[in-house]
Amino acid sequence: MSGPSDQQLMLAVKAGDPTAFEQLYRRYRDRLYAFLVRYTGDAAIAQDLFQETFLRVFRDRARYEPRAAFSTWLFTIARNLFLDSVKKTRIPRTFPVPEAVSRAAPDPSPGPLESLEQREADAVLRRAVASLAEEERAILLLSRFEGLRYAQIGEILGISEGAVKVRAHRALQILRHTLLP
Protein backbone atom coordinates (compact mmCIF):
# COMPACT_ATOMS: atom_id res chain seq x y z
CA MET A 1 0.00 0.00 0.00
CA SER A 2 1.46 3.33 -0.98
CA GLY A 3 0.54 6.64 0.51
CA PRO A 4 -0.61 7.40 4.02
CA SER A 5 -1.61 4.62 6.40
CA ASP A 6 -5.22 4.04 7.39
CA GLN A 7 -4.57 5.57 10.80
CA GLN A 8 -2.97 8.66 9.26
CA LEU A 9 -5.95 9.06 6.95
CA MET A 10 -8.44 8.65 9.79
CA LEU A 11 -6.57 11.21 11.88
CA ALA A 12 -6.78 13.57 8.89
CA VAL A 13 -10.53 12.86 8.68
CA LYS A 14 -10.77 13.64 12.38
CA ALA A 15 -9.01 16.96 11.66
CA GLY A 16 -11.58 17.77 8.95
CA ASP A 17 -9.94 16.59 5.70
CA PRO A 18 -12.71 15.31 3.37
CA THR A 19 -10.23 13.91 0.82
CA ALA A 20 -8.81 11.62 3.49
CA PHE A 21 -12.29 10.21 4.06
CA GLU A 22 -12.67 9.62 0.32
CA GLN A 23 -9.37 7.72 0.30
CA LEU A 24 -10.46 5.50 3.19
CA TYR A 25 -13.79 4.91 1.51
CA ARG A 26 -12.12 3.85 -1.74
CA ARG A 27 -9.65 1.68 0.14
CA TYR A 28 -12.32 -0.24 2.08
CA ARG A 29 -15.55 -0.07 0.08
CA ASP A 30 -15.12 -3.37 -1.79
CA ARG A 31 -13.82 -5.32 1.21
CA LEU A 32 -16.48 -4.06 3.57
CA TYR A 33 -19.35 -4.59 1.15
CA ALA A 34 -18.14 -8.11 0.29
CA PHE A 35 -17.89 -8.95 3.99
CA LEU A 36 -21.38 -7.63 4.69
CA VAL A 37 -22.90 -9.55 1.78
CA ARG A 38 -21.26 -12.77 2.96
CA TYR A 39 -22.10 -12.05 6.59
CA THR A 40 -25.77 -11.19 6.10
CA GLY A 41 -26.51 -13.22 2.98
CA ASP A 42 -28.64 -10.37 1.64
CA ALA A 43 -27.37 -7.69 -0.74
CA ALA A 44 -30.04 -5.16 0.27
CA ILE A 45 -29.31 -5.52 3.98
CA ALA A 46 -25.58 -5.42 3.23
CA GLN A 47 -25.99 -2.19 1.23
CA ASP A 48 -27.89 -0.52 4.07
CA LEU A 49 -25.30 -1.62 6.63
CA PHE A 50 -22.48 -0.56 4.33
CA GLN A 51 -23.83 2.96 3.99
CA GLU A 52 -24.61 3.25 7.69
CA THR A 53 -21.11 2.03 8.58
CA PHE A 54 -19.42 4.77 6.58
CA LEU A 55 -21.88 7.35 7.92
CA ARG A 56 -20.94 6.28 11.45
CA VAL A 57 -17.23 6.47 10.65
CA PHE A 58 -17.69 10.04 9.47
CA ARG A 59 -20.10 11.03 12.23
CA ASP A 60 -17.91 9.53 14.99
CA ARG A 61 -14.61 10.77 13.54
CA ALA A 62 -13.98 13.05 16.54
CA ARG A 63 -14.00 10.03 18.85
CA TYR A 64 -11.54 8.00 16.77
CA GLU A 65 -8.41 6.95 18.66
CA PRO A 66 -5.73 4.97 16.81
CA ARG A 67 -5.48 2.21 19.44
CA ALA A 68 -6.17 -0.57 16.95
CA ALA A 69 -6.02 -0.94 13.21
CA PHE A 70 -8.57 1.18 11.35
CA SER A 71 -9.93 -2.00 9.72
CA THR A 72 -10.66 -3.39 13.19
CA TRP A 73 -12.66 -0.28 14.08
CA LEU A 74 -14.48 -0.33 10.73
CA PHE A 75 -15.49 -4.01 10.90
CA THR A 76 -16.52 -3.59 14.55
CA ILE A 77 -18.89 -0.79 13.57
CA ALA A 78 -20.32 -2.88 10.70
CA ARG A 79 -20.86 -5.95 12.88
CA ASN A 80 -22.44 -3.94 15.70
CA LEU A 81 -24.81 -2.27 13.25
CA PHE A 82 -25.83 -5.71 11.98
CA LEU A 83 -26.42 -7.01 15.51
CA ASP A 84 -28.44 -3.89 16.35
CA SER A 85 -30.57 -4.39 13.25
CA VAL A 86 -31.18 -8.00 14.23
CA LYS A 87 -32.37 -6.90 17.68
CA LYS A 88 -34.62 -4.15 16.29
CA THR A 89 -36.23 -6.14 13.51
CA ARG A 90 -36.07 -9.59 15.05
CA ILE A 91 -34.51 -10.91 11.85
CA PRO A 92 -33.03 -14.37 12.39
CA ARG A 93 -29.25 -14.28 12.71
CA THR A 94 -28.76 -17.02 10.18
CA PHE A 95 -29.14 -15.85 6.63
CA PRO A 96 -28.48 -17.80 3.48
CA VAL A 97 -24.87 -17.19 2.53
CA PRO A 98 -24.47 -16.03 -1.07
CA GLU A 99 -22.35 -17.68 -3.72
CA ALA A 100 -19.46 -15.29 -3.07
CA VAL A 101 -18.61 -17.24 0.08
CA SER A 102 -17.80 -20.42 -1.74
CA ARG A 103 -15.52 -19.07 -4.43
CA ALA A 104 -12.04 -17.79 -3.72
CA ALA A 105 -11.18 -17.56 -7.43
CA PRO A 106 -13.42 -18.35 -10.39
CA ASP A 107 -12.64 -21.41 -12.46
CA PRO A 108 -11.24 -20.38 -15.89
CA SER A 109 -13.77 -22.25 -18.05
CA PRO A 110 -15.29 -25.38 -16.67
CA GLY A 111 -17.30 -27.70 -18.85
CA PRO A 112 -21.02 -28.18 -18.25
CA LEU A 113 -20.59 -31.18 -15.93
CA GLU A 114 -17.84 -29.51 -13.90
CA SER A 115 -19.90 -26.35 -13.69
CA LEU A 116 -22.93 -28.24 -12.38
CA GLU A 117 -20.82 -30.13 -9.85
CA GLN A 118 -19.19 -26.89 -8.70
CA ARG A 119 -22.56 -25.16 -8.25
CA GLU A 120 -23.80 -28.11 -6.19
CA ALA A 121 -20.66 -28.10 -4.05
CA ASP A 122 -20.97 -24.32 -3.64
CA ALA A 123 -24.57 -24.66 -2.47
CA VAL A 124 -23.57 -27.28 0.11
CA LEU A 125 -20.78 -25.01 1.38
CA ARG A 126 -23.08 -21.97 1.56
CA ARG A 127 -25.62 -23.93 3.58
CA ALA A 128 -22.90 -25.22 5.91
CA VAL A 129 -21.50 -21.73 6.51
CA ALA A 130 -25.02 -20.33 7.01
CA SER A 131 -25.70 -23.01 9.64
CA LEU A 132 -22.86 -21.77 11.85
CA ALA A 133 -23.67 -19.62 14.84
CA GLU A 134 -23.37 -15.88 14.13
CA GLU A 135 -20.08 -15.46 15.97
CA GLU A 136 -18.48 -18.53 14.39
CA ARG A 137 -19.61 -17.36 10.95
CA ALA A 138 -18.14 -13.91 11.62
CA ILE A 139 -14.82 -15.42 12.72
CA LEU A 140 -14.65 -17.64 9.66
CA LEU A 141 -15.49 -14.82 7.24
CA LEU A 142 -13.18 -12.29 8.87
CA SER A 143 -10.24 -14.69 9.04
CA ARG A 144 -10.58 -16.60 5.77
CA PHE A 145 -12.09 -13.98 3.47
CA GLU A 146 -10.95 -10.67 4.96
CA GLY A 147 -7.54 -11.93 6.07
CA LEU A 148 -7.78 -10.42 9.54
CA ARG A 149 -5.61 -11.81 12.32
CA TYR A 150 -7.20 -13.52 15.30
CA ALA A 151 -6.17 -10.62 17.56
CA GLN A 152 -8.04 -8.16 15.32
CA ILE A 153 -11.08 -10.44 15.20
CA GLY A 154 -11.00 -10.65 18.98
CA GLU A 155 -11.12 -6.86 19.18
CA ILE A 156 -14.05 -6.75 16.76
CA LEU A 157 -16.01 -9.39 18.67
CA GLY A 158 -14.94 -8.27 22.14
CA ILE A 159 -13.34 -11.62 23.04
CA SER A 160 -9.78 -12.81 23.59
CA GLU A 161 -7.52 -14.00 20.82
CA GLY A 162 -7.52 -17.44 22.44
CA ALA A 163 -11.31 -17.56 22.33
CA VAL A 164 -11.22 -16.62 18.65
CA LYS A 165 -8.78 -19.48 17.97
CA VAL A 166 -10.99 -21.97 19.80
CA ARG A 167 -14.15 -20.81 18.01
CA ALA A 168 -12.41 -20.75 14.62
CA HIS A 169 -11.27 -24.32 15.21
CA ARG A 170 -14.79 -25.29 16.28
CA ALA A 171 -16.29 -23.65 13.17
CA LEU A 172 -13.87 -25.49 10.92
CA GLN A 173 -14.60 -28.77 12.70
CA ILE A 174 -18.34 -28.22 12.20
CA LEU A 175 -17.76 -27.50 8.51
CA ARG A 176 -15.58 -30.60 8.13
CA HIS A 177 -18.17 -32.76 9.85
CA THR A 178 -20.95 -31.26 7.71
CA LEU A 179 -19.08 -31.41 4.43
CA LEU A 180 -17.14 -34.67 4.71
CA PRO A 181 -19.00 -37.97 4.80
Could you report the per-residue pLDDT of 40-88, keeping only the tens digit for each? 888 899 999 999 999 999 999 998 888 888 999 999 999 999 988 888 7
Q: What rounded mean pLDDT belongs to the chain?
A: 84
pLDDT at site 101: 47
Residue bearing the bigger pLDDT, 139 or 105: 139
Cβ count within 10 A of residue 137 = 22
CATH no. of 6-179: 1.10.1740.10
Residue type, 64: Y
pLDDT at site 39: 87
Residue bearing the bigger pLDDT, 94 or 19: 19
Q: pTM for the whole thing? A: 0.71
Q: pLDDT-based confidence at 114, cuts 50/70/90? A: low
DSSP-H helix ranges across 18-111: 18-40, 43-59, 70-89
Distance between CA atoms of 155 and 69, rounded to whole angstroms?
10
Kindly tell me if the per-residue pLDDT of 166 is higher than 80. Answer: yes
Could you report the per-residue pLDDT of 22-38, keeping only the tens digit for each? 999 999 999 999 999 88
Task: Using the Cα atoms of residue 40, residue 45, residue 46 and residue 49 in order, give the sign of their dihedral.
Answer: negative
